Amino acid sequence: MATPLGARRTARPATTHPLPATGARRQVLAGARVVLPTGTVADGRVTIEGTKIAPEAPHGAPQGALVDVSGHWLVPGFVDLHNHGGGGASFSGSAEDVLKALHTHRLHGSTTVVASTVTDDMDVLVRQAGLLSELAEQGDLAGIHFEGPFISPCRKGAHSEALLRDPDPAEVRKLIDAARGRARMLTLATELPGGLDSVRLLAEQGVIAAVGHTDATYEQTVQAIEAGATVATHLFNAMPPLGHRAPGPIAALLEDERVTVELINDGTHLHPAALELAFRHAGPSRVAFITDAMDAAGIGDGRYLLGPLEVEVSEGVARLVEGGSIAGSTLTLDRAFRRAVTVDRIPVEDVVAALSANPARLLGVDDSVGSLEPGKDADLVLLDEDFELKGVMRKGVWVLDPQLA
Ligand SMILES: [Zn+2]
């Protein structure tokens, strides 16, 4: 099995305790390979106090309940920048739907999730932004990502063509206002009339301007980055391909150090060679693995809705009933992790950066999540030697209990 970082550790003596559902006052997860910002520590320890990661107790002081997690990897909880739903529910639905989708993704390791909307009527989006902002206020969501309606009809993917429109800074502002400080990102086709002004407005307002569902040329994309765009929405998907005379948005987004590129690593959206090309070129600090998941994530095949459009999921691949466009993914980030390590052979530390540290930094929440450091939230993922998910802790509580007792 793939253990790229060397030999299996030797077991250290550790007292095992059953894990209480709400977490002991102080517990120490001991013996795992722990991935820290400085590298991987074999036989590492993570101390948890209440909802936070705590510094190790000084020598001789009580350590807390020792939990043996030897034979596992311990990595930070995943941060998903771009996600439309899961568990049969959507972030475009009711509060109950949103929480259901959120819970599904938490069970798969995503302890921080931004809710993505899809193209719809402005009124609908404004209303949904209000609902999602309340859930962000409560700490359930990390914010809102508006995908559309300001995208290109040529690259609409699974967005409803009749509802697309040119970017209009006044309408962009309306969405930002409706999100009451919780708008984190907006994906737009920056080459459309009003595109660059909208990018400038977003940047001014501290909302990430993401280039996506775009038909822009290389030159137009460079202009968008100069205007303040800092993210490539699912690089390669819903944009012109990389051509040798017309390099298009992909080259512009990959070459600029200021841009983080989203990648959907489900084996369907990207050929492994395309993924490798992007990862190598951008480097591990500029990649964010996302799910772009829709309702079927965490459930399975069947018929679903993506915003107003009908989607058929077959063998885990979601396609529009009409036209057959790929319509989001059924990916969860634990699968993206496992695939990145075992299929793409990306070093574990780089995969952790792409799943946690980079998106946390981009969202400006890296003071509380994104790495296993004292003072941050006790958000962590426990994987076995084969990188199968075994446990998920969020704010000191096991969402998925590894049953280690
Ligand atoms: Zn999306």
The 10s digit of each residue's pLDDT in 8-50 is 333 333 344 444 444 448 999 999 999 999 999 999 999 999 9
Q: At what angle do helices 248-255 and 218-227 cross, to 10 degrees?
A: 40
Contact 329, 268 (CB under 8 A): yes
For 142-165, the pLDDT digits (tens) are: 999 999 899 999 998 888 889 999
Q: Give the DSSP letter of residue 371.
A: S
**34: closest CA among 360, 380, 287?**
380
Give me ligand 1 centre to Cα 5, in Å. 33
**39-49/26-36 β-pairing:** antiparallel
**317-320/309-314 β-pairing:** antiparallel
Give me ligand 1 centre to Cα 274, in Å. 19
DSSP code per residue over 199-267: HHHHHHTT-EEEE-S----HHHHHHHHHHT--EETTTTTTS----SS--HHHHHHHH-TT-EEEEE-SS
Q: Determine the pLDDT at residue 16.
A: 40
Q: Would you call 292 a catalytic residue per the annotation? A: yes
Q: Please state, in angstroms and as integers, the Cα–Cα distance from residue 38 to each residue in 121, 144, 182, 283, following that order.
A: 46, 31, 31, 17
Task: Kindly report the number of other CB atoms within 10 A of residue 292's CB atom.
Answer: 29
Give me ligand 1 centre to Cα 397, in Å. 29
Q: Which helix (H) or strand (E) holds 86?
A: strand 85-86
**26-36/72-76 β-pairing:** parallel
- Find the catalytic residue in 266, 292, 334, 366: 292
- 183 token code pair: 């708008």
Q: Which helix (H) or strand (E) holds 188?
A: strand 183-188
Is 269 annotated as belonging to a binding site? yes
Q: Determine the pLDDT at residue 256.
A: 98
Is 234 annotated as belonging to a binding site? yes
Is 59 annotated as belonging to a binding site? no
Which CATH number applies to 26-76+370-400? 2.30.40.10
Q: Determine the pLDDT at residue 57.
A: 87
For 93-125, the pLDDT digits (tens) are: 999 999 999 999 999 999 999 999 999 999 999
328: region left, alpha or beta (phi > 0 left; psi from -120 to 50 alpha)? left
Give me ligand 1 centre to Cα 268, in Å. 15
Domains 26-76+370-400 and 78-363 share a fold: no
Phi, psi of 168 (to 5 degrees): -130, 115
Give me ligand 1 centre to Cα 83, in Å. 6
Q: Determine the pLDDT at residue 23.
A: 42
What kind of architecture, by CATH, is found in domain 78-363? Alpha-Beta Barrel (3.20)
Give me ligand 1 centre to Cα 395, in Å. 27
CA distance 193 to 168: 8
Residue where the block lists tokens 């990390």: 142
Is 237 annotated as belonging to a binding site? yes
Is 53 annotated as belonging to a binding site? no
Is 158 annotated as belonging to a binding site? yes
Lowest mean pLDDT among 276-285, 300-309, 330-339: 300-309
Is 8 annotated as belonging to a binding site? no
**165: closest CA among 153, 180, 183?**
153
Phi, psi of 225 (to 5 degrees): -70, -40
Proportion of the chain above pLDDT 90, given as a percent: 80
pLDDT at 360 over 80: yes
Give me ligand 1 centre to Cα 271, in Å. 18
Q: Coil, strand or helix: which one is 62?
A: coil
For the whole model, what pTM was predicted? 0.91
Please work out, in degrees rounded to the nearest 5, the angle formed at the alpha carbon of residue 307 by the alpha carbons of 314 and 221: 95
Residues 6+ apart with CB under 8 A from 6: 42
Spell out the domain ranges in the chain: 26-76+370-400, 78-363
